[in-house]
Amino acid sequence: MSVPASDRSVPLSADLQAEIEGWYRGTIFAYDWTSPHFPSWTAVLGERRRPLRILEIGSYEGRSAIFFLNYFPASTLTCVDWWNMDTNELELLPLIPDALEHFAHAEARFDLNLAPYGHRATKLKGNSADVVAQLGVDGARFEHPLEEARGRAGVATDAEIPASVSRSV
């Protein structure tokens, strides 16, 4: 899904900005790599009320998961991540102060942040290429596969997400 350059700078309406801020009350995050993308996401995502099955690869603390579960209130979301700095995110160490300390608690923050969404959020822990392959074998289908961790070692890419898992809406 590409975003036209003109849509990248479209600010959120004051009402939508206030609504989004409300979604994050009571949550705990060490980093915010996600909210700068909200304006472009809202510009391309379309109708909010349609029920979707969304696959998110790379969920970290759950900030984008909370966005999608609220933006599409009739949706369900499957989140895939390692939640293990020791095996996957070593290239981030020089870029992020206190990375080991923060990553050590990322999974617990994800669990806490996503607890209010109950059955609408499914957590799958493991290598995304392996998890996505198993989802295909299991017959899982998603309208929107999302890749938060694109380009990192062990992360499934568009080419690796089987067509049987991703279907067009």
Hey, is 14 helix, strand or coil?
helix
pLDDT of residue 104: 80
pLDDT at 97 over 50: yes
User: Across residues 94-108, what is the average pLDDT?
Assistant: 77
Res. 10 pLDDT band, cuts 50 70 90: confident
User: What does the block give as tokens for 116?
Assistant: 């209010």
pLDDT of residue 147: 56
pLDDT of residue 36: 93
pTM here? 0.78
Maximum mean pLDDT: which of 31-35, 97-101, 114-118, 147-151:
114-118
pLDDT at 134 over 50: yes
Residues contacting residue 37 through CB under 8 Å, at least 6 positions apart:
64
Domain 12-160 annotated CATH 3.40.50: yes
